[in-house]
Structure 1
Amino acid sequence: MWRVKSLDAILATAEKKSLHRSLGPVQLTLLGIGAIIGTGIFVLTAAASQKAGPGMMVSFVIAGAVCAVAALCYSELAAMAPVSGSAYTYTYAVLGELLAWCVGWALILEYAVAASAVSVGWSGYVLGLIENGIGFDFPDLLSAGPTWSMNGFIPTPDFSAGIVNIPAIIVALAVTGLLILGTTESARVNAILVAIKVAALTVFIVLTLPVIDTANLSPFAPNGLFGAYSGMGIVGAAASIFFAYVGFDAVSTAAEETKNPQRNVPIGLIGSLAFCTVFYLLVALGAAGAIGAQPVLGAAGQAVQPGSPAFVAACALPANAEALVCSNEALAHVLRVIGHPQVGNALGTAALLALPSVILMMIYGQTRIFFVMARDGLLPEGLTKMHKRFKTPYVVTLFTGVAVAIAAALFPVGQLADISNSGTLFAFFMVSIAVLILRKTDPNRKRPFKTPLVWIIAPLSAAGCAFLFWNLPHDAKMVPPIWGAVGLVIYFAYGFRKSHVARGLVEVPELSPDAPVGPVPPMPGAPAPGSKEERD
């Protein structure tokens, strides 16, 4: 279980069974921006306001700080090992197969659930646009999934708010089809969507900052720093908002499809994160200052979690009809309230067009985690099957897309984001530890990008991830143990025995300790080197 796969073997295997390298630094940075700016700012602004009020601006800073130190750790490992697999690959090389499996399994949860959350966020904007733009009232029962609560270890649904989210299913499956067409085609579409998204947020900032009323920012932290219970307050909002930053992780999963990854991966990671952080703070300030961001209260005057049955009941009250925290299309709602309904509809249209770019990157990242785990023998190798025409791993992409659509149909956006964060924070924690261990065990390896002040930055990253995980809502913290237990059953039933490392398979013969010196003679009956038979 503690066997490691050397970085040399990982790199050599990637060269032998590599994905096509087609992404440059600009495309990679745009992919990062496309993955980062999305549901976190278009949709989760409302959920963050419910937890922290205007204090969500501090939450953005806390989450961004943790993400920044994690990004520095990721950059070092991604530049050293420019292959698909992200934190899973790094952990395999440093901490061993069992922990690598746990990280990979957590990343599968992160990406799939994140894609589902963004699909639900897209649904809120498209439904708001339909209602406000053309006046059609979409059936409530088909526009949202049920709300969920944990009864011990058993999730319990409440169907009063809705049964199934039809628009979320449609967008998840549409993006899946685009990804099957190919990486380069997806990146080109994404570049257009990123431009639309950035333009829409710029217009929002220009219209809201001049009308900020400082009275709307008071009380600044109505639920305090930590809140009355887990998941509330400024820190609880930071744990949820962390979801808005994690898109940079998807950049590292694209390392194997990047030209000159030692240079371009750090550029994509840090550049996209810095660009997006500025936008987040300006948009959050504009939203809270323009119309207020105070949370709604439960029937007994208590703080309530966004997405909970008590929250849904509070938002149904006429007095809360205009509250930012109750909107499923927060930014468009702000513009309509301050007297720009047509611009609000236009922003809703921009979100309608742009949010699929985030879904694209989340499904993209998840399929590449599946791909590399299957390539290592921990999952069935049939998952690595490539489409003959499009040269993409279509089997695992289709499987992922269906799973994403099902989750998007049945869960609210806030709960999906918190569940995704639980897997993300675990993976980031392991990366932070891996950087330190590798500095000790392999200090002489070439590091195209070195984490500055690593003995300060990496521990800060690990501690920050653990701190935010602890402040997630209780239900979200319960998911990783259950998901992890299922993963361990699969690992010991299949991966433990089928792992290529366990079976002694050396995919690159030059790395075998008993490899012969000099040219290897051809097998009897083998085609001549360079002949048509060999190529076939």
Structure 2
Amino acid sequence: MLLDRIKPLDAILATAQKKSLHRSLGAVQLTLFGIGCIIGTGIFVLTAAGAQKAGPGLMLAFIIAGAVCIVAALCYAEIAAMIPVAGSAYTYSYATMGEFLAWTVGWALVLEYAIAASAVSVGWSGYFTGTILNEFFGVQLPAWLSAGPLALGGAAGGFINLPALIIALLVTWLLMIGTTESARVNAVLVAIKITALTIFIALTLTSAYFDPDKFNPFLPAGLFGGFGSGVGAVGAAATIFFAYVGFDAVSTAAEETRNPQRNVPIGLVGSLLICTIFYILVAAGAVGTIGGQPIMGPNGVPFPAGSEELARQCAMAAHADALVCSNEALAHVLRQIGFSGIGNMLGIAAFLALPSVILILLFGQTRIFFVMARDGLLPEKLSAVHPKWKTPYIVTGITGAIVAVAAAFLPVGQLADIANAGTLYAFFMVAIAVMLLRKQAPDRKRPFRVPGLAIVGPLTIAGCLFLFLNLPLEAMLVLPVWTVIGFAVYFGYSRRNSLLGRGIVEVVDDIGGQEHSFPIDVPEDAR
């Protein structure tokens, strides 16, 4: 049977108990880690793309996306505290729904992390070219070197986003040679981002430029833009959802956490609530000062973010200073209201902090890839650990190359939508896994239980499906196409090489860590 291969939960938990990783992270550190993962390109860059889709309704979009993430976080909190091991949604699915569905989740997570890293690279490029090169050195990088050509209609004048390509390759190289950020460095970067956003909020909300009339009309494109349109407040929420991506990385740190049963839920929900409040206030400050009305097409529908026609409109003098036309939205807002120096400082904060987000995303992607390879679902050679660097250099190099190419040729909004498709599927499956575990293992210790799971679980499933159906059609189609490719890999290679299919449960604690094998009987028709 296709769904018979389920990894025993006892084996996974036994590995967690025998592991040698030091438990050193507390609730505050986890919350900071979550904030560090969440605050990145989403708020620093996608504010412009979100405003083009929803106008001032961007504030509502942040609330809608945040609400879906909070119910999903509750599901993550229960299962991460119950199964505090590496692998995140992939491992949870393996223990509840079996190998095949776990493969689809892991395959979607590979897409999510890689494409998200590309999107952050493009976001970093906007601040590098706008703040570092232009504002500080007076250098205007040609359009053909600072924008990718593969927007929805082809970006005007774009050929390759060279800075995005370079930063993606640089971070990949750092990961390959074993350079990782410590908790102390991460805390400093989180402080930089929080300080920058706090200053932005204070300056914009108290500015003489702030005018409540700029919020009218609040929903110029309506609440719903229609199936596959990707516009309206809900369409913007589907894109802005990317601004919250990263909180699930907190669950991957469960093995290094003191008292994970208490601290993981605090880290997950706490980081989400803090970021949601920041996002709403940032959106209010940006729209209330320079306005956030989208540039409309002749049919009364906003031009697609990243499209050729929007690029043409933004090149006109009438729209040159518009929020929706900026590649470095928050720094641009401050410059427009007379705080050029502080705007440049914010640009520098983004320039310094965003590479850490790329690093976390690439690290998370290679960790998922590594666990899948060691389960036999991908060639083990891909997860080979370098004898000197002690890192999975092959998979890191391959992933980094793909990330760099995507960053070089695709716009940030389109990348975010594609990444969101994989993320929403993973969250969807986690909600199902939590509900299944309540039935399959009702007596298991659950230090954290989702309150009202009968309501929260279905709400998470419905919310993820709702946002997915409001992505642009092109982004929606990427996930099924990627899944079909995954099916070909699974049935062509993974199913026959799976360790579980051969009767062995092998769980790896960490890269280069110890293995624990648990021989089991697997039905012949499940092999």
Same fold (TM over 0.5): yes
Matched, 1:217 2:215: yes
* Residues in 2 aligned to 1:383 and 1:263: alpha-carbon distance in whole angstroms: 35
* Residues in 2 aligned to 1:147 and 1:54: alpha-carbon distance in whole angstroms: 28
* Aligned-residue identity in percent: 65
Aligned to 2:354: 355
* Residues in 2 aligned to 1:389 and 1:188: alpha-carbon distance in whole angstroms: 25
What does 1:178-217 correspond to in 2, within 5 Å?
178-180=174-176, 182=178, 185-211=181-207, 212-217=210-215
RMSD: 2.0
Contact 1:194 / 1:357 at 8 angstroms: preserved in 2?
no
Contact 1:30 / 1:194 at 8 angstroms: preserved in 2?
yes
Deviation at 1:359, TM superposition (A): 1.2
TM-score (ref. length: structure 2): 0.92
Aligned to 1:103: 105
The 3-state SS of whatever aligns with 2:318 is: helix
Pair 265,382 (structure 1): closer, same or farther in 2 beyond 3 Å: farther
* Residues in 2 aligned to 1:368 and 1:77: alpha-carbon distance in whole angstroms: 19
* Residues in 1 aligned to 2:212 and 2:461: alpha-carbon distance in whole angstroms: 36
- Once the two structures are superposed, residues 115-144 of structure 1 have per-residue CA deviations (whole angstroms, 9 ceiling, x without a partner) of 100110010011111112221111110111
Matched, 1:163 2:159: yes
Contact 1:147 / 1:161 at 8 angstroms: preserved in 2?
no
Deviation at 1:259, TM superposition (A): 4.3
Letter in 2 for 1:190: N
* Residues in 2 aligned to 1:4 and 1:131: alpha-carbon distance in whole angstroms: 55
Structure 2 unaligned runs (5+)?
507-514, 522-527
More deviation in 231-240 or 377-386? 377-386
Letter in 1 for 2:122: V
Contact 1:147 / 1:159 at 8 angstroms: preserved in 2?
yes
What does 1:309-388 correspond to in 2, within 5 Å?
309-388=308-387
Deviation at 1:82, TM superposition (A): 1.1
What does 1:10-409 correspond to in 2, within 5 Å?
10-13=12-15, 23-129=25-131, 130-149=133-152, 158=154, 160-180=156-176, 182=178, 185-211=181-207, 212-227=210-225, 230-298=229-297, 302-409=301-408
Deviation at 1:194, TM superposition (A): 1.2
* Residues in 1 aligned to 2:165 and 2:23: alpha-carbon distance in whole angstroms: 31
- Once the two structures are superposed, residues 403-430 of structure 1 have per-residue CA deviations (whole angstroms, 9 ceiling, x without a partner) of 2111111100000000000010011011
Contact 1:85 / 1:253 at 8 angstroms: preserved in 2?
yes
Pair 222,301 (structure 1): closer, same or farther in 2 beyond 3 Å: closer
Is the radius of gyration larger for structure 1 or structure 2?
A: 1
Aligned to 2:524: none
The 3-state SS of whatever aligns with 1:40 is: helix
Contact 1:103 / 1:426 at 8 angstroms: preserved in 2?
yes
Deviation at 1:189, TM superposition (A): 2.6
Deviation at 1:396, TM superposition (A): 2.2
The 3-state SS of whatever aligns with 2:419 is: helix
* Residues in 2 aligned to 1:427 and 1:290: alpha-carbon distance in whole angstroms: 37
* Residues in 2 aligned to 1:106 and 1:85: alpha-carbon distance in whole angstroms: 13
Contact 1:371 / 1:384 at 8 angstroms: preserved in 2?
yes
Aligned to 2:509: none
* Residues in 2 aligned to 1:44 and 1:382: alpha-carbon distance in whole angstroms: 37
- Once the two structures are superposed, residues 260-306 of structure 1 have per-residue CA deviations (whole angstroms, 9 ceiling, x without a partner) of 43333223212211221111111111001011000012366542110
Aligned length: 507
Contact 1:183 / 1:392 at 8 angstroms: preserved in 2?
no
Contact 2:155 / 2:306 at 8 angstroms: preserved in 1?
no
- Once the two structures are superposed, residues 498-529 of structure 1 have per-residue CA deviations (whole angstroms, 9 ceiling, x without a partner) of 11110112448884468xxxxxxxxxxxxxxx
Deviation at 1:19, TM superposition (A): 5.9
Letter in 2 for 1:409: A
More deviation in 173-182 or 65-74? 173-182
Contact 1:193 / 1:354 at 8 angstroms: preserved in 2?
yes
The 3-state SS of whatever aligns with 1:408 is: helix
Letter in 2 for 1:251: V
Deviation at 1:308, TM superposition (A): 1.4
* Residues in 2 aligned to 1:382 and 1:364: alpha-carbon distance in whole angstroms: 18
